[in-house]
Amino acid sequence: MDSGSANILFDAQVKRLGEAHSLILYWCSSAEGRSLKYNLTNCFDDLKSAGITRTKQTAIAAVEALATLCFVDLKDEGNRKNIYITRHGAKALEYLVKNSLFHSKPSSFLEDVSS
Amino acid sequence: MTIGIGGAGSKIAAKLDNQAILINVSETEMSKVDGGSRRILPTMFAAKGQLRGSRKNPQIGLDAYHSVQRELQELIRGNFVFCSTGGGTGNGITSGILNDLASQEDVSLTDKTCFGIILPYAKLESNEFVDNTIAFLTGPLSDAIDSGNTGNIFLINNKKKFVEKISEEHYNQMIVDSLNVFLSIPDKNDRLPLLDGHIDHEDFTSFMSKPYFNYFTYFNYNPSAPFEKQLDANLNDLLLPPDSAIEALFLVEVPKGGDPTIFYDILQYFSTKNVAPIYSVVENPEVNAPFVTVSLLYSRKPAELVDDFNHISEEHVKAKVNKTLNQNVSLVKLNVNMEDEAKRAVKQKGDSDDILATLRRIGKL
């Protein structure tokens, strides 16, 4: 695949991201920026408190979709599945921010840690 | 009998009535008032003994009132009390009297107390005077009026004194002379030949016992000109201007051989205002032209008065703050937690831009 096609594919993938996906990218980036581990349970709690989903399955599905697109890495650490943003995920988030396609919402996990 | 409370009240009471009872917490100030008969010095002890003034603090006057409460409750019955609202003594002691009146079940017509209340000219007098006045008007005075247990209340206005730069002695004499014109109405009815109507002492006492504000004025009456215009043109600027009259009283004095029917136009004027006044017409050989003394009882003005005072009081506060800022600014040490402030700033700024910076910092962009 040449770089032009790759870019087209990347744009198409990013445009298909929903609010849950972009928030997960944002929250896991913020956590990593503060040297915190952001796991699947934190992700579910945040999506739930943001009013986006009430089921853990949906949260897991959103994270797995991001992992499939290589936008996040899921790592089993201890008994937790921690989420790390990849370089592609960072580019995706940058695209969303710059094109005003993303509005942040607070993460109760990150707020609890800071207070 | 007249009772003067505090410095300003005592000076007017003593001029009006040489049998006046004068009350003041400051013996020195009281000794400087000529006239009057009995003098009462309420007990007012502080840690260092009897105070020599009330520091413009009505609470001190109110505390002092309790030492003379029973005596004053008896003395004020059916009498005329003068006080000012600005200082501590007149305001504090009169507040005590008014509070007691407000809590009484019923006061008989002959026991009603009239009040002559001297209001500060807010523009030029101290803002403590204005604040004390507002508290007095909205508190004790309002409650006492609502109870219906006071007689007429005369709101004496200090504005003319300050605007025209009149000495206190002279201004007090003007107030007393003016009050004497009004208060002499029943005596004139006794003494002079009656041409129409009648206001005897009982009628006058009844009128004075009504719990309203009393505004009166007097002037040479021209029967060929509308009474309303003459009334407006001859405002008694020693008193606060009146609101719509609820009740009225007037006396017309005509010269010897004068027309005794000129009062009908005045009655007609009051009829258009839905007021049925008490009146009388007398023949007075001492006057060269018809002379009318008219009194209006009204009730609405205090609310507007308080509004005016509130407005001016706020202006005083603003001026004080500005003056303080211009003279001396001392900054309070602020203990700022930089971490909290940074977090707050981040929250306020918006997170989108920050996340890109974070991604660059962690090497993902």
Which pLDDT score, from 0 to 100, does residue B182 have?
96
B79 Rama sector, left if φ>0, alpha if ψ -120 to 50, beta otherwise: beta
Q: What is the mean pLDDT of residues B95-107?
A: 88
Q: Is the pLDDT of residue B57 over 70?
A: yes
Contact residues, chain B, for A28 at CB < 8 Å: none
pLDDT less than 50: residues of chain A: none
Are A29 and B364 a contacting pair at CB < 8 A? yes
Q: Where are the alpha helices (DSSP H) in B209-300?
A: 227-233, 263-272
Which pLDDT score, from 0 to 100, does residue B350 have?
55
Q: What is the mean pLDDT of residues B222-244?
A: 91
Which pLDDT score, from 0 to 100, does residue B146 have?
81
Instruction: Report the residue of chain B nearest A86, measured CA to CA.
Output: B364
Which pLDDT score, from 0 to 100, does residue A4 have?
86
Q: What is the mean pLDDT of residues B309-322?
A: 62
The listed CATH number (3.30.1550.10, 3.30.365.10, 3.40.50.150, 3.30.1330.20) that belongs to domain B196-306: 3.30.1330.20
Q: How far apart are CA B78 and CA B150, in angstroms?
A: 10
| Fold match, B1-183 / B196-306 | no
In this prediction, residue B333 has a pLDDT band, given cuts at 50, 70 and 90, of low
Report the residue of B340, B355, B360 to disrupt the A interface, i.e. the one with the largest count of A CBs within 10 Å: B355
Are A90 and B343 a contacting pair at CB < 8 A? no
Contact residues, chain B, for A86 at CB < 8 Å: 364
3-state secondary structure B158-178: CHHHHHCCCCHHHHHHHHHHH
Are A91 and B365 a contacting pair at CB < 8 A? yes
Taking alpha carbons only, the member of B120, B109, B112, B115 closest to residue B141 is B115
Q: Is the pLDDT of residue B214 over 60?
A: yes
* Distant-in-sequence, close-in-space partners of B263: CB < 8 Å, separation ≥ 6: B196, B197, B250, B252, B279, B281
Rounded (5°) CA angle B8-B173-B232: 100
Which pLDDT score, from 0 to 100, does residue B58 have?
81
In this prediction, residue B266 has a pLDDT band, given cuts at 50, 70 and 90, of very high
Which pLDDT score, from 0 to 100, does residue B342 have?
67
Are B355 and A86 a contacting pair at CB < 8 A? no
Q: Which of A25-29, B273-277, B328-332 has the highest mean pLDDT?
A: A25-29
In this prediction, residue B236 has a pLDDT band, given cuts at 50, 70 and 90, of very high
Global pTM value: 0.64
Contact residues, chain B, for A85 at CB < 8 Å: 359, 364
- What is the residue-averaged pLDDT of chain B? 84
Selecting from B353, B355, B362 the residue whose C-beta is nearest the C-beta of A93 gives B355
Are A104 and B362 a contacting pair at CB < 8 A? no
The listed CATH number (1.10.1060.10, 3.30.420.40, 3.40.50.1440, 3.40.50.10860) that belongs to domain B1-183: 3.40.50.1440
Domain boundaries, chain B: 1-183, 196-306, 326-361
Which of B67-71, B74-78, B272-276, B297-301 has the weakest average pLDDT? B297-301
Which pLDDT score, from 0 to 100, does residue B330 have?
57
Are B352 and A104 a contacting pair at CB < 8 A? yes
Q: What is the Cβ-side half-sphere exposure of residue B197, based on CA atoms within 13 angstroms?
A: 24
Q: Is the pLDDT of residue B46 over 60?
A: no
Q: Is the pLDDT of residue B348 over 60?
A: no
Which pLDDT score, from 0 to 100, does residue A112 have?
83
In this prediction, residue B125 has a pLDDT band, given cuts at 50, 70 and 90, of confident
Count of beta carbons in the 10 Å neighbourhood of residue A108: 15
β-sheet bridge partners, residue A100: none
Taking alpha carbons only, the member of B155, B303, B304, B147 closest to residue B211 is B147
DSSP state of B239: B
Q: Is the pLDDT of residue B258 over 80?
A: yes
ipTM confidence: 0.87
Which of B74-78, B127-131, B240-244, B288-292 has the weakest average pLDDT? B127-131
Are A33 and B365 a contacting pair at CB < 8 A? no
Which of A40-49, B156-165, B177-186 has the weakest average pLDDT? B156-165
Contact residues, chain A, for B362 at CB < 8 Å: 29, 32-33
- Chain B (326-365) residues lying within 8 Å, Cβ to Cβ, of chain A: 343, 350-353, 355-356, 358-359, 361-362, 364-365
Which pLDDT score, from 0 to 100, does residue A29 have?
94
Selecting from A26, A33, A114 the residue whose C-beta is nearest the C-beta of B362 gives A33
DSSP state of B83: E
Q: Is the pLDDT of residue B252 over 90?
A: yes
Q: What is the mean pLDDT of residues B5-9?
A: 89
